Structure 1
Amino acid sequence: MDFMQLLDMILHVDKMLGMVIAEYGTLVYVVLFAIVFCETAFVIFPFLPGDSLLFIAGAFCATGAMNPWLLVGLLLLASISGNTINYWIGSLIGHKVMARDYRWIDKAALKKTHEFYEKHGGKTVVLARFVPIVRTFAPFVAGISDMTHRTFQLFNVLGALLWILSLVLSGYFFGNIPFIQKNLNAIVLVGVGAAIVPLLLGALWKMLKRLRKAA
């Protein structure tokens, strides 16, 4: 397998998971751990598959191709430790990154995450788990924003549990239903919207109250 084939497999592992299991057996756990870890630990890897990978992995667990308990344990470890490293990187070099332009970091996504984080604090660490790209930047921004490590870990662990368990278990129980397979991204977005909309309405209400007081 040359480099381009390897890169294509990593970027589309959610669609090629059956082939990876057939060819590499138990090494698939190492592959999944590495992908989830890198996506959550380093801001240069926001393009790695996340939600769909967890869901499809859960579906393969239902067929007996993988052990669901081992998979969930490894993915929890990968996502919690990945976010922790990203947080420390943010706390160490984040302010320098915000002040300069680096081609390897999407500054627009970083600024949007920071603005959302400023409004909703620790909730962002939890909700960001379900939003591609944003979940890669959220722990980094938490480090920049000087969130205490203890508080961050509380939301980090909670977010990892909700993200991993909800998607892997959903894949386990429903992943082999064709309709859900085809509309996974839409279903995830609806779920995220249900969580975020109340927060946005609450923020809007507070803004209106401030405007009334100012008037």
Structure 2
Amino acid sequence: MNDFHWTKLFNPEFYITMELGGVPIGIYMVLFIVFAETGLFAGFFLPGDSLLFLSGIYSRELVETFFYIPSDFSNVTVLALLIASAATLGNVFGYWFGARSGQFLYAKEDSFFFKKKYLYQSQEFFEKHGGKAIIFARFLPIVRTFVPIIAGIVHMEKGRFMFYNVLSSLLWSFVLVFAGHYLYDMFLTEFNIDLKEHIEKIILILIAVTTFPLVMKAIKSRKSNSNTSE
């Protein structure tokens, strides 16, 4: 840890390859971060989509922390299911918090870990898409942190919430984990390119892709506000 720098906290590979006393704990860190993105409302700075994609690349190393699975497909499937479970639990906690005390967030002052504007953006997103917002939000940084809370605040029917919650968690996990795993294999076998040597580029591309919808939404919102003021 002597070469640790705070910027590593934004690098998903840092968590995936983390060790404690020489013992790999990457899988525990991945599951905790996935839960924390919604369960602990820390989604604006913790890596989400890029973490899942890279977890697919490191699926063998991560799952072997628990047990060895000879089948490559079974290995990546188990990893995706574990991540989906953590994502589901995170949303449940977010929903519970919203139902119990989420209203206090609207009166809370902005801080490094909390921006009220994200709450209002997520509320608008939820009102526009309804239950499907829970699915769409899974693939949008920041929004996925607050949408479950909004669902709890408006007391969305629990059975309906759980349906979208489980479905969105499975889609998010399987799409990104499988994409990372099999794209890594394809680039290695077909082009002799080891994606592990290009992690920083992959992270930048994923950040650009996942934040593009939010940037476009912000631009449209500004144009709309300027037109209204005129």
Length-normalised TM-score, structure 1: 0.75
Matched, 1:78 2:86: yes
Question: Displacement, 1:54?
Answer: 0.3
After superposition, the C-alpha distances for 1:184-203 in whole angstroms (9 at most, x for unaligned) are 3344467x79xxx9xxxxxx
Question: Displacement, 1:147?
Answer: 0.6
Tell me if structure 2 keeps the 8 A contact 1:76–1:161. Answer: yes
Question: Displacement, 1:46?
Answer: 2.7
Give the equivalent residue in structure 2 for 1:95: 103
Give the equivalent residue in structure 1 for 2:161: 152
Question: Helix, strand or coil for the counterpart of 1:105?
Answer: coil
Name stretches of at least 5 consecutive residues in structure 2 with no aligned partner: 64-75, 188-194, 218-230
- For residues 24 and 136 of structure 1, what CA distance do their matches in structure 2 show? 33
Question: Displacement, 1:183?
Answer: 2.6
Question: Displacement, 1:122?
Answer: 0.7
**Paired AA for residue 150 in structure 1:** G
Question: Which of residues 56, 59, 62 is equivalent to 1:58?
Answer: 56
Shift in CA distance, 44/65, structure 1 to aligned 2, threshold 3 Å: closer
| Matched residues, number | 191
Question: Helix, strand or coil for the counterpart of 2:156?
Answer: coil
Question: Displacement, 1:36?
Answer: 0.7
Tell me if structure 2 keeps the 8 A contact 1:117–1:138. Answer: yes
Question: Helix, strand or coil for the counterpart of 2:174?
Answer: helix
Tell me if structure 2 keeps the 8 A contact 1:122–1:152. Answer: yes
Give the equivalent residue in structure 2 for 1:124: 133
Give the equivalent residue in structure 1 for 2:12: 14
Matched, 1:173 2:171: no
Matched, 1:48 2:57: no
After superposition, the C-alpha distances for 1:72-119 in whole angstroms (9 at most, x for unaligned) are 222111100010001000111112322443535211010011011112
Provide runs of 4+ in structure 1 moved above 6 Å: none
Question: Helix, strand or coil for the counterpart of 2:29?
Answer: helix
Shift in CA distance, 22/173, structure 1 to aligned 2, threshold 3 Å: farther
Question: Displacement, 1:42?
Answer: 1.9
After superposition, the C-alpha distances for 1:152-183 in whole angstroms (9 at most, x for unaligned) are 11110111011000000000111464598363
Q: CA RMSD in A?
A: 3.2
Tell me if structure 1 keeps the 8 A contact 2:31–2:86. Answer: yes
- For residues 80 and 92 of structure 2, what CA distance do their matches in structure 1 show? 18
Question: Displacement, 1:8?
Answer: 5.0
Percent identical pairs in the alignment equals 33
Name stretches of at least 5 consecutive residues in structure 1 with no aligned partner: 198-215
Question: Helix, strand or coil for the counterpart of 1:130?
Answer: coil
Give the equivalent residue in structure 2 for 1:183: 205
Question: Displacement, 1:55?
Answer: 0.2
Question: Which segment is superposed worse, 173-182 or 162-171?
Answer: 173-182
Shift in CA distance, 85/19, structure 1 to aligned 2, threshold 3 Å: closer
Tell me if structure 2 keeps the 8 A contact 1:56–1:175. Answer: no
Shift in CA distance, 168/25, structure 1 to aligned 2, threshold 3 Å: farther
- For residues 153 and 174 of structure 1, what CA distance do their matches in structure 2 show? 31
Question: Displacement, 1:43?
Answer: 1.9
- For residues 120 and 62 of structure 2, what CA distance do their matches in structure 1 show? 39
